[in-house]
Structure formats: C-alpha cells, structure tokens
Amino acid sequence: MQDPIDQRPSRIVVDLDRLSHNLRGIRERVGVPVMGIVKANAYGHGLVAVARHLQAQGVDQLGVAFLEEGMKLRQHGIALPILVMGGIFGPQAAQFIEHDLEITVSSLAKLRQVEAAAEALGRKAVIHLKIDTGMERIGVHSYSAGPFIEAAAASRWCVLKGVYSHLACADDPDSPMTAQQLERFLDACAHFERIGAPMPLRHLANSGGVLHFPDTYLDMVRPGILLYGVLPDPASRATVDTRAALSLRSQVIYFKVVRAGNPVSYGATWAPQRDTRVVTVPIGYGDGYPRGLSSRGRVLIRGQAYPVVGRVCMDQFMVDIGSGSAWNEDEVVLIGEQDGAAVSVESLARAAGMSAYEILVGLNERIPRQYVAA
C-alpha cells in the first residue's frame, strides 16, 4: 500500500533537470571526476532517488556519511562506487566489505581492524586514507602521516584507492586557511613519492573548494550542497551557475481576519496593528520548517511575498497577507519560486540564524517528495 503521507498537499518538489544542470556546471568547472555527496538523505532531497538520478547522469562516485546510508543505497541497487566519509567503528568493518563500500581509514589502529576483517573474509577492502590538515575532526595529522601512509601502502588486504582531507573554511573565499590546508595535504601526499608507492586519488574540495579554490580540485572533488544549487555560506561567490533543485510547497488551509491588537499563535508574540487578513498553512517545525522562522520567514502566495507571523507551531503556521487576497487551497511556496517571485534557502537561513545546510537536512520524512523532470 502507498504511504498515506504521500498524498499530503504539503510537499517537497525536486527538479531533477536542475540537479543535472548543477552536476554539468560543476563538471565543466572542475574538469576532474565528481563524487556526488548524498549524505543526510541527500541534503533533504531524498537519498535513493537522488543517487539514482546522479548515477543515470554519469556521476563518477557517491559519498555518504555513515555505513547505514551506504547499505541503503546498495539495497536499492545503486552500483556506483560509494565512499563512506565518516569514521568507522572497528566491528563494522566486515559490513563495509560485504556491501562493497569504500572505507575511510583515519588511523593506524583502524587500518589494522580493516585489514583483519578483510583477511577473515578473504576479500580485499577498498580504502581512502583520511589526513587531518586543520579540521581536527577525524584523520591522521598531516605532520605525522608518514608511518600511516607507509603501512597503508604496504597493506596486503587493503586496496588503497584514495587519500583525502577536508577543508574547514573553503566557503569563505578570503580565508587563508584553505591554502594552508592544501599545502599540508600536498606535503603529506608527497610521502607516497618518497617511498616509491603509487599515488592514490587525491581529493580535497567540498562545495566551497569547487567555488573558490581551483588548486584544491586535484584528482576528484566532493561537492554536496552546491550540487543541490545552494551556496554553502553567505560569504560564498556563485562562480558556478547552479539552480536550487528543491522547492517546498503547501496550500492555504484557513483564512480569517484578525482584529487589531489580537495576538497570533503560541506565546502571543505578535499582534497586528490594524485589522488584517491572516491565512494558516498546514506545515510546521514537526516537518522541519524551522521554529526560528517565527515572525521572520516569508512565503509566496499568488506571486506575492508575505511574512510569517507569530510562532511557527509543530504542524501549522500563520501568514499575514494584509489586504492581499488568498483562498483556501491556494498554493503557498515556502521555498522556491512562484510567478517570478522567489524565496531561497539562503534567505531563510539568514532569517532564522541558521545555515542553509540545516534548513535542507531538517526537512524530514513527514513531507512527501515528488520528483519532476521535463
């Protein structure tokens, strides 16, 4: 039976043509293979559907955060190489190998665990070494990576496919941190040459790297948010032509006039100064529409932008349409375009004091996702 949630009038619409356009734009820009990052439910766009589409569009590889995301992709028949970028718990090593998932090896001890699991299964593990060049998250520090690289290069049970690091500040084109991280990374990679081992695929650039730092492209790039057509940070420059693939749409479910001075929603935090028309929209923070947009968000109705007023509730919120007109069942655009007007994820992020990432990945499974293509 179909999931009843799928019939909700509130929905996420993902424009697959825009995803293709964004992938193409990134490819043309970087000229090296692209690992499409689909962690966190493909940034809210839907893990399996997005992975299938990127696979059909010839993306070179996929990246996820956790083992379980990779397993889900395999379960749904995704055949592309998949790198799990997060850390690995030793006991999970066998599952990685059995599901043909590429492993991020971030320490000598983890390397030994992966080798032991591979030997026990009689099947080689495909690994990428993680070098820490300044993020201090996971990975072996670049300044002490020599023995780690030697051990991995000598491993009998690991196929050393890649070596990578992660940029902490690339979404800001003016940060000096990126050049420093690149230098540290290249220094660490030079150790392969020193010991006469073949150089694995070197990858470093996230979306910020793709946008601002061509020197970080190396042998492969790992864009996430940019693939979905959203900029990583307000400081970022749109050096690649991308378009937001996701829109969030609902409908007016109630219309009324609120008298001057009568407060709207929980906490009575907002009241109109004169009689005004207020409509209710049946979606709320229980769906991932942030409560931080209370009296700060904007929506589109009939091509006009109107303010969210009062607190966003779990399942509903209110919009002041002033003397504008709206009828029950009129379309409400929370993110996206309508009659030439637009509400971007970036603008909502700014209004809510959140990052664009949080807004996207917060949109949860209570909202059905619909995929459209010309």
Ligand X SMILES: *Cc1c(COP(=O)(O)O)cnc(C)c1O
Residues that bind ligand X (CB under 6 A): 37, 39, 85, 166, 206-207, 222-226, 232
- Nearer to ligand X by C-beta: 232 or 284? 232
266 among known catalytic residues: yes
**Cβ of residue 232: shortest distance to ligand X, in angstroms?**
5
Q: Which residues contact 330 (CB under 8 A, 6 or more apart)?
A: 251, 252, 301, 302
Name the minimum Å distance from CB 166 to ligand X: 4
Q: State which residue, 88 or 333, has the beta carbon closest to ligand X.
A: 88
DSSP per-residue codes, 144-177:
G-HHHHHHHHT-SSEEEEEEE---SSTTSTT-TH
Cα separation, 183 vs 326, whole angstroms: 57
In the complex with ligand X, the residue whose CB is nearer, 211 or 312, is 211
Q: Which is nearer to ligand X, 230 or 258 (CB)?
A: 230
* Residue 4 Cβ vs ligand X, minimum distance, rounded to whole Å: 32
In the complex, least distance from residue 85 CB atom to ligand X, rounded to whole angstroms: 4
Q: Which residues of 310-336 are buried (b: 16+ CB within 10 A; e: fewer)?
A: bbbbeebbbbbbeeeebeeebebbbbb
- Between β-strands 125-132 and 102-105, what pairing exists: parallel, antiparallel or unpaired? parallel
Nearer to ligand X, 224 or 290 (CB): 224
Q: What is the DSSP string of 107-130?
A: SHHHHHHHHHHHHHHTSPEEEEEE
C-alpha span between 201 and 181 (Å, rounded): 17
Give 208: exposed, middle or buried? Use CB within 10 Å, 0-12, 13-18, 19+.
Answer: buried
371 labelled catalytic: no
Smallest separation, CB 54 to ligand X (Å): 14
Closest CB to ligand X among 71 and 168? Answer: 168
| Cβ–Cβ under 8 Å, residues 22 and 246 | no
Helix (H, G, I), strand (E, B) or coil at 91: helix
Sign of CA dihedral 22, 28, 29, 31: positive
Cβ 207 to ligand X, closest distance in Å? 3
Query: Which of 344, 372, 342 lies closest to 17 in space, CA to CA?
Result: 372
Q: How many CB atoms lie within 10 A of CB 292?
A: 17
CB nearer to ligand X: pick between 25 and 232: 232
Residue of 143, 254, 256, 266 with catalytic role: 266
Residue closer to ligand X, measured from CB, 92 or 206: 206
Residue with token string 């059909």:
56
Q: Considering the candidates 39, 110, 130, 357, report the single residue annotated as catalytic.
A: 39
216 in helix, strand or coil? helix
Query: Which residue of the chain is nearest ligand X when measured via CB?
Result: 224
Nearest approach in angstroms of CB 113 to ligand X is 20
The DSSP letter of residue 212 is: H
Which amino acid type is present at position 63? G
The CA distance from 153 to 118, in Å, is: 16
Q: How many Å from the N-terminal Cα to the C-terminal Cα in the chain?
A: 28
Shortest Cβ 222–ligand X spacing (Å): 4
Residue whose C-alpha is closest to residue 139's, from 195, 68, 61, 86? 86
Catalytic residues: 39, 266
